[in-house]
Amino acid sequence: MAYAIQAVYFVAAVLFIYGLKQMSSPRTARRGIVWAGVGMFMAVVVTFFHPGLHGVGNYVLMFVAIAIGGGLALVTGKRVAMTDMPQMIALYNGMGGGAAAAIAALELIRHAPMTLTVQIIAVLGALIGTVAFSGSLIAFAKLQGLQRKAVRYPRQQVVNMAVFAVSVALGVVVAFSGAGYSDAVLVFFFFLALAAGVMMTLPIGGADMPVVISLFNALTGLAVGFEGFVLGNPAMMIAGIVVGAAGTLLTQLMARAMNRSLAKVLFSDFGGAAAQETGGSAEGHLKPIEANDAGAMLAYADKVIIVPGYGMAVAQAQHKIWELAELLAERGVTVKFAIHPVAGRMPGHMNVLLAEAGVPYDMILDLDEINNEFVSADVALVIGANDVTNPAARTNPDSPIYGMPILNVDKAKNVIVIKRGQGTGFSGVENPLFYADNTRMLYGDGQRVAGELIQAVKSM
């Protein structure tokens, strides 16, 4: 039986890896999710036959946990709007980290005999999982609008590092004490680890959320892998390692896409007061345009590049934007979509929304593929994107986003920006693009404005 269980775990791990590989492309992502789900189902089922389980009570608790967790996931998965996917991902990341921390807590509270290596790994998993859990909850609160303001106080980073250092010190005590540590030390260790996750995430601005979400995803995977080692469960180990590695690579890609080191994301003030103070002011005047005039520009263009951002997600305008793109294509206009790696509030956010609307994959191009084409575009239509189109990243060394690769929207012959108002956006950084001579501002809710553009094009 033991060999059969290990064989099933091995097959499940292979399916995890295969599923993750399929998720690397939008064309095969759905298939990858299905295969990874099959692997997870196999791993869960075979766990019921694990020789370490004793007593009916354990099976009852497992069924109850699966029913509660699976039921909540099923309900939320069906009800959560696509616009709320970033906060759902943050929440699910947190649950994974919390589960790993709970496993470690149970093993450590039992004071069961462990080798020094296993005990050290258990404590590491507990620390990382707890930080990922509390940090992800704060990220969820920020994305959901429950925590609207970044929390800052004097010598914040010093205090945060002190709290984290003490939690690490207590972890060292637990790790090297065998079974001789007190429960009070263990409780204090978990309390400080929770506080460290909260305090680390509170000052991080909204513009850095894509990096933060992928970072916590990596931490959760690492914690799960560690606790899989503690339990001797190869499926947990492999799944955790794969998720941790993928999350780490994604975090690096997101940070590179913003030209920001991970240290700057975690320990600077981008997206908050500092961004507003150093962002500078743009010269010129905002030049509004009516939907009918904008529709005429689009209808008689040869090439249009559409740049979606979080504003499109908030307005749930992706279906209307695709309807507009189809209408333009019928008139012989070449239409393409330009996606920046950190557009939205999570990695791939815009890709998910456009896929939901039915936009063909070959029309969706990333920054490197599309940037050279803006100079030949008659119109660049920006809907709800700010920082990823901000030319200050190229021209203003004082800007907090200086050096960040951006979409070259300002090089198009004409730019139309759909925006709800005249504010600076989620990150608080002023965008000189809005004041450029070739830019016109089309104010209003994204979905409503897209509908007006559709009617304007139809009337041409």
CATH number of the domain that residue 434 is part of: 3.40.50.1220
Instruction: Give the per-residue pLDDT at 273.
Output: 42
Residue 369: other Cβ atoms inside 10 A: 12
Element housing 379 (H / E): strand 379-383
Q: Which pLDDT score, from 0 to 100, does residue 222 have?
A: 93
270, 292, 322 - which closes a domain: 270
Identify which of 136, 123, 93, 133 has the alpha carbon closest to the alpha carbon of residue 227: 123
Domain annotation covers residue 90: yes
- The pLDDT value given to residue 277: 42
Q: Is residue 197 one of the residues assigned to a domain?
A: yes
Q: What pLDDT does 331 receive?
A: 92
Q: Among 227, 246, 270, which residue terminates a domain?
A: 270
Instruction: Please tell me whether residues 140 and 228 are part of one structural domain.
Output: yes
Q: Catalytic residue among 208, 269, 387, 410, which?
A: 387
Same domain for 371 and 236: no
Q: Which domain holds residue 419?
A: 282-458
Residue 71 domain-assigned (yes or no): no
| Structural domains counted in the chain | 2
Annotated catalytic, 269?
A: no
Give the pLDDT of residue 54: 61
Instruction: Please state, in angstroms and rounded to a whole number, the distance separating the CA atoms of residues 306 and 450.
Output: 12
Cβ–Cβ under 8 Å, residues 296 and 325? no
Per-10-residue mean pLDDT of the chain, 460 residues long, equals 83 88 80 91 85 69 88 85 79 91 90 86 94 92 76 81 94 87 91 93 75 88 92 84 87 76 63 44 78 93 93 87 94 94 79 87 90 94 89 84 87 92 63 91 90 90
What pLDDT, in 10s, does the model give residues 378-387?
A: 999 999 888 8
In this structure, the answer to whether residues 248 and 386 fall within a common structural domain is no
Q: Are residues 293 and 236 in the same domain?
A: no
What pLDDT shows up at residue 162? Answer: 93
Q: Choose one of 241, 270, 299: the last residue of a domain.
A: 270
Please name the helix (run of DSSP H) or strand (run of DSSP E) that holds residue 304, with its range, or none.
Answer: strand 303-308
Distance from C-alpha of 433 to C-alpha of 52, rounded to nearest angstrom: 63
Whether 254 and 317 map to the same domain: the answer is no
Q: Are 390 and 433 in contact (CB under 8 A)?
A: yes
Are both 265 and 286 inside the same structural domain? no
C-beta separation of 180 from 227 below 8 A:
no
Residue 232: inside a domain: yes
| Same domain for 234 and 364 | no
Examine residue 340 and state whether it is found in any structural domain, yes or no: yes
Res 179: pLDDT: 76
Is 92 contained in some domain?
yes
Task: Say if 131 falls within a structural domain.
Answer: yes
With respect to residue 275, please indicate whether it lies within any of the assigned structural domains: no
Residues 318 and 353 in one domain: yes
Does 233 share its domain with 354? no
Same-domain pairing of 323 and 343: yes
254 in the same domain as 121: yes
Q: Are residues 314 and 447 in the same domain?
A: yes
Secondary structure (3-state) at 401: coil
What tokens appear for 114 in the block? 């462990």
CA distance 291 to 440: 11
